[in-house]
């Protein structure tokens, strides 16, 4: 049995005003709508939430608001921390822990790839410092080392409060290896690899499109939970087509993950949600938003919620 319950994990990106200050009211409304949609696992400060970019002041502001909106609710609320060293990461973990959070998302320091001994030391010095808390490892190529199931098996034996991973790459091969060798962890996978993981064992959904289409997100998760192979494949392909077609609408150019996450919140839940990213990265424009909105209204109206269609 996995150390953490199966579920759907949803990111809550931060809205910035013209001076790149937090729009407190909009963040609160975003969190409320995510919870009202029925999602019970949410977080701030992955890549899409600009966890790599926020200074300490903004980090604390978002953590405080997020705690106020989730405390006492039926939700597992998680704070992500991204840093270049263990001391940087621990400093922010301490603030979020003092605020009241007990579920955290951490990624490896990324200035240089860690070796095997450094890997264990990192988890011992972060997870081990907060034995009353649980940790998800954000497993991504930007950290210069992506972990597989055998590597996690070594960590599992030493770190009892590492309970989950977030792994969206590697396809069917990586999914099988994670479930085979590290089944004690709850693996949150994206729309592309969640169907593969579901056929090897219990896993969870990291839902990139949750704010755009809660209904289709729940449908994909349920198909995986019940191992409905035909529906899993149908929905996997449907999400892939949506992504290919939707992201062909904005003007071309590289964008950080947060640009996409904020666009999806704006398209699916809060039309007033700003698209700005903290310097130096560029978000999408209002013209990009209008192009995406026209496309969805024309081709994917059945994916959208009634409130969005009425706006």
∠ CA(138), CA(115), CA(101), 5° rounding? 30
Average pLDDT, the chain: 96
CATH code for residues 8-228:
3.20.20.70
Does the structure show a pLDDT above 90 at 253? no
CA–CA distance, 309 with 64 (Å, rounded to integer): 32
Give phi and psi for 231, each to the nearest 5: -70, -35
Q: What is the mean pLDDT of residues 163-178?
A: 96
Range 155-180 average pLDDT: 97
Mean pLDDT confidence for 149-164: 98
Residue 42 confidence (pLDDT) above 90: yes
Domain spans of the chain, in order of start: 8-228
Those residues whose C-beta lies under 8 Å from the C-beta of residue 77, and which sit 6 or more positions away, are 42, 43, 66, 67, 70, 71, 101, 103
Is 42 in a helix, a strand, or coil?
Answer: strand
Query: What's the confidence (pLDDT) of residue 1?
Result: 84
pTM: 0.96
**pLDDT tens-place string over residues 69-123:** 999 999 999 999 999 999 999 999 999 999 999 999 999 999 999 999 999 999 9
Task: State the Cα–Cα distance between residues 61 and 168, nearest whole angstrom.
Answer: 29
- Segment 1-20 shows an average pLDDT of 97
Check: CB of residue 128 under 8 Å from CB of residue 159.
Answer: yes
The answer to whether 168 and 206 have CB atoms below 8 angstroms apart is: yes
């Amino acid at each position: 049995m996995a150390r953490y319950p199966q579920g759907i994990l949803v990111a809550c990106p931060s809205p910035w005003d013209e001076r790149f200050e937090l729009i407190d009211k909009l963040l609160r409304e975003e969190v409320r709508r995510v919870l009202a949609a029925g999602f019970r696992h949410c977080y701030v400060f992955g890549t899409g939430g600009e966890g790599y970019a926020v200074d300490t002041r903004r980090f604390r502001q978002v953590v405080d608001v997020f705690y106020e909106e989730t405390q006492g609710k039926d939700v597992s609320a998680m704070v992500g921390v991204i840093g270049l060293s263990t001391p940087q990461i621990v400093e922010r973990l301490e603030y979020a822990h003092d605020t009241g959070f007990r579920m955290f998302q951490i990624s490896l320091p990324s200035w240089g790839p860690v070796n095997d001994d450094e890997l264990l030391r990192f988890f011992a010095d972060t997870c081990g410092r907060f034995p009353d808390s649980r940790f998800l490892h954000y497993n991504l190529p930007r950290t210069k080392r992506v972990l597989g199931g055998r590597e996690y098996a070594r960590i599992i034996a030493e770190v009892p409060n590492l309970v989950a991973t977030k792994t969206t790459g590697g396809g069917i091969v990586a999914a099988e290896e994670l479930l085979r060798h590290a089944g004690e962890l709850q693996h949150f996978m994206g729309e592309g690899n969640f169907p593969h993981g579901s056929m090897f064992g219990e896993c969870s959904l990291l839902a990139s499109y949750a704010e755009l289409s809660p209904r289709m997100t729940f449908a994909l998760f349920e198909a995986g939970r019940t191992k409905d192979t035909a529906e899993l494949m149908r929905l996997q392909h449907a999400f892939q087509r949506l992504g290919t077609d939707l992201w062909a609408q904005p003007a071309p150019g590289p964008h950080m993950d947060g640009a996409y996450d904020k666009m999806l919140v704006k398209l699916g839940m809060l039309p007033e949600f700003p698209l700005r990213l903290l310097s130096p990265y560029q978000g999408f424009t209002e013209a990009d938003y209008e192009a995406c909105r026209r496309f969805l209204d024309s081709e994917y109206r059945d994916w959208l919620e009634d409130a969005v269609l009425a706006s």
